[in-house]
C-alpha cells in the first residue's frame, strides 16, 4: 500500500460509520472481504452519538424522576426530590461513550480498517478522502454508501442557541421550563414525553390532524392522555410561522383554526423530519441515480444504478430507522460476498419510546384489509396482565392481526410498558410463518409481559382465559 500520489487499493469500502455502515463493514469482513470504513465524525453515527441512544437515556432519566416523585401509591415515600441535570447529562454521555468505544473495538476485532475523513465519490471506482492532514485517493471493487440523514431546517426557524433540532435539544445544559416542539412525529413525541417527565411545560405544534399519524388512533390516545396529565399542550392543524429570539427565550408564532397565535418559551425545537445526506459527495459524478427527494435509487439487494455501488439506511426509501439501516447493511454485504440476499420489509418493527411506549410490526388491520386479506384483530388489555399490574403500568394493550382462514399472524401492535421488547415476539411469529395456535401453545413465563401476546393469540382462537 502506497500513500501519496498513488491510489490506495481497497476491496470493499463503506462510507459512514453509523448503525448501517459499521454493521455492513463487520458483516462484509466476516464474509471474507478486506474492508475499509470511512467516517468523517464519530463512529456510531447519529444513532449512537446524538440520536437513538442518548434520547433513550434521557427518557430513562425522566421515568426515574417520575417514579421517585409518584411512588407513594406503593408505599415508597420520598421527600425533597431533586434532579441534578448536569449529573444526568454526564451519565447519558457515559452510556454513549461506552457504546461508541465498543463499536471501535468490534471493527478492530473484525480487522476493518477505519479511516477518519470526509469522502467524495469520483469516477472509475475512486474515492477522495479529505482530512486535517491532507487527502488520499482510494479505489474499490465494491462500495457501500451509508451517509445517513440530517434534521430538516424549516423556513423562519434557522437553528441557533434557542432554535433547536433533536441533536442540540439532547445537549441542553438545563431542563427548560417551557419548550415548544414543531412536529408531532415520533421524534417530537418521544422528546416531548421525555421533557414533560423532567418537569418541562411542553407545547407541541402539529400541522396534521393528529400526532403520530402513522399509528392507529387507539394507540396514540394513551400517549396523548399521559402527556396532557403532565401539563403538555398539543395543538393540531397548526402551521408554524416564525420565531423571535432573545437571550432568554423565544416567541413562536403559528396559525391554527384560521387564527394567528403566539406562544412564549425558553426554546423551540423543530422535528419535522430528516433529509438524506447525498448532496455534494459526488454520487452523480459516479453515475448513481437519485430521486427528486435526494434518495438513492436501489433494488431489493441495495444495489444502485452502478453495479458495484450499494446504498443503505436513511439515504434510501423507507423510514429512517437504525435497525432498518443495520438490516440493509447486512444484506448489501452478503450480496457483495455472492450470497442470494435481498430485503424484505414486512417484519420491520416501528417503535415510539413515548410514555407509554407504542410499537407495531407487520400489517395493521387496515393495511391487511387494503391488501385483500380477511383478517381478525384480537386485542388484549394490559390491565388483565399480572406483571403489568405489579409494575403499576396497566395502561395499554396487545393486538394481533391474524388471517381468518388459518389464523396466520400477519401483524401486531403493542401499547404499554416495554412495548419495544414485547413486539419482538410478534415479529418472530410473522417471520417464522406462525399462526395464533403456535403462540398459544408456547408456554410463557408467569408473571410476565410476554403473556399478553399469548393471551391475544388465545383470543384470536376464540378461547380467551383472562377476558
User: Would you list which residues are annotated within the binding site?
Assistant: 56, 147-149, 183-190, 206, 273, 314
DSSP code string of 404-415 = TTT-BEEEEEEE
Question: Do the beta carbons of residue 365 and residue 375 sit within 8 Å?
Answer: yes
Query: Per the annotation, where are the binding residues for NAD(+)?
Result: 183-190, 206, 273
Angle between helices 52-69 and 186-197 (to 10 degrees): 30
Our answer to whether residue 446 is catalytic in this structure is: yes
d(CA 171, CA 50): 9
CA distances from 85 to 52, 71, 135, 152, 173 (A): 19, 21, 41, 28, 7
Specify the DSSP element, H or E, that contains 181: strand 178-182
What are the respective helix, strand and coil percentages of the chain, to the nearest 5? 35, 25, 40
d(CA 382, CA 29): 44
Of 63, 323, 446, 466, which residue is the catalytic one?
Answer: 446
| Residue the block writes with cell 452478503 | 334
**How buried is residue 137: exposed, middle or buried, by Cβ count under 10 Å (0-12/13-18/19+)?**
middle
Residue 378 bridge partners (DSSP) = 400
| Residue the block writes with cell 437519485 | 290
d(CA 453, CA 419): 11
User: Is the peptide bond prior to 447 cis by the omega test (within 30 degrees of 0)?
Assistant: yes
- Cell triple for 466: 383472562
SS3 301: coil
Query: Per the annotation, where are the binding residues for FAD?
Result: 56, 147-149, 314
Alpha helices in 12-51 (DSSP H): 21-30, 45-50
CA nearest neighbour of 266 among 198, 209, 324, 314: 198
The residues carrying an active-site annotation are 446
Amino acid at each position: 500500500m502506497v500513500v501519496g500520489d498513488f491510489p490506495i487499493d481497497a476491496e470493499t469500502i463503506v462510507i459512514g460509520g453509523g448503525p448501517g455502515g459499521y454493521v455492513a463493514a463487520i458483516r462484509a469482513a466476516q464474509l471474507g472481504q478486506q474492508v475499509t470504513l470511512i467516517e468523517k465524525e464519530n463512529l456510531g453515527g447519529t444513532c449512537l452519538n446524538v440520536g437513538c441512544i442518548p434520547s433513550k437515556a434521557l427518557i430513562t432519566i425522566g421515568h426515574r424522576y417520575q417514579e421517585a416523585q409518584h411512588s407513594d401509591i406503593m408505599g415508597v415515600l420520598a421527600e425533597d426530590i431533586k434532579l441534578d441535570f448536569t449529573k444526568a447529562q454526564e451519565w447519558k454521555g457515559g452510556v454513549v461513550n461506552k457504546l461508541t468505544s465498543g463499536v471501535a473495538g468490534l471493527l478492530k476485532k473484525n480487522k476493518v480498517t477505519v479511516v477518519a475523513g470526509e469522502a467524495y465519490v469520483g469516477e472509475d471506482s475512486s474515492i477522495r478522502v479529505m482530512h486535517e492532514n491532507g487527502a488520499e485517493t482510494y479505489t474499490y471493487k465494491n462500495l457501500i454508501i451509508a451517509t445517513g440523514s440530517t434534521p430538516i431546517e424549516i423556513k423562519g426557524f434557522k437553528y441557533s442557541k434557542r432554535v433547536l433540532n433533536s441533536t442540540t435539544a439532547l445537549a441542553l445544559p438545563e431542563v427548560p421550563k417551557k419548550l415548544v416542539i414543531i412536529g408531532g412525529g415520533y421524534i417530537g413525541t418521544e422528546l416531548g414525553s421525555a421533557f414533560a417527565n423532567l418537569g418541562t411545560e411542553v407545547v407541541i405544534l402539529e400541522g396534521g390532524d393528529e400526532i403520530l399519524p402513522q399509528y392507529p388512533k387507539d394507540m396514540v390516545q394513551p400517549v396523548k392522555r399521559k402527556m396532557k396529565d403532565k401539563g403538555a399542550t398539543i395543538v393540531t392543524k397548526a402551521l408554524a410561522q416564525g420565531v423571535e429570539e432573545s437571550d432568554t427565550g423565544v416567541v413562536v408564532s403559528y396559525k391554527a383554526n384560521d387564527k394567528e397565535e403566539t406562544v412564549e418559551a425558553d426554546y423551540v425545537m423543530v422535528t419535522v423530519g430528516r433529509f438524506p445526506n447525498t448532496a455534494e459527495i459526488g454520487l452523480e459524478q459516479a453515475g448513481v441515480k437519485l430521486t427528486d427527494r435526494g434518495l438513492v435509487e436501489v433494488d431489493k439487494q441495495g444495489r444502485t444504478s452502478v453495479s458495484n455501488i450499494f446504498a443503505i439506511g436513511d439515504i434510501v426509501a423507507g423510514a429512517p430507522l437504525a435497525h432498518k439501516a443495520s438490516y440493509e447493511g447486512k444484506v448489501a454485504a452478503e450480496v457483495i460476498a455472492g450470497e442470494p440476499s435481498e430485503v424484505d420489509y414486512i417484519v420491520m418493527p416501528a417503535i415510539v419510546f413515548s410514555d407509554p411506549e407504542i410499537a407495531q410490526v407487520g400489517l395493521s388491520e387496515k393495511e391487511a384489509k387494503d391488501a385483500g386479506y380477511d383478517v381478525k384483530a384480537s386485542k388484549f388489555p394490559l390491565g388483565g396482565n399480572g406483571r403489568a399490574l405489579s409494575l403499576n403500568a396497566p395502561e395499554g394493550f396487545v393486538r394481533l392481526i391474524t388471517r381468518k382462514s388459518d389464523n396466520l399472524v400477519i401483524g401486531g401492535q403493542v401499547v404499554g410498558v416495554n412495548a419495544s421488547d414485547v413486539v419482538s415476539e410478534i415479529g418472530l411469529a410473522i417471520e417464522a410463518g406462525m399462526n395464533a395456535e403456535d403462540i398459544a401453545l408456547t408456554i410463557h413465563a408467569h408473571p410476565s409481559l410476554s403473556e399478553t401476546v399469548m393471551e391475544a393469540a388465545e383470543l384470536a382462537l376464540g378461547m380467551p382465559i383472562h377476558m
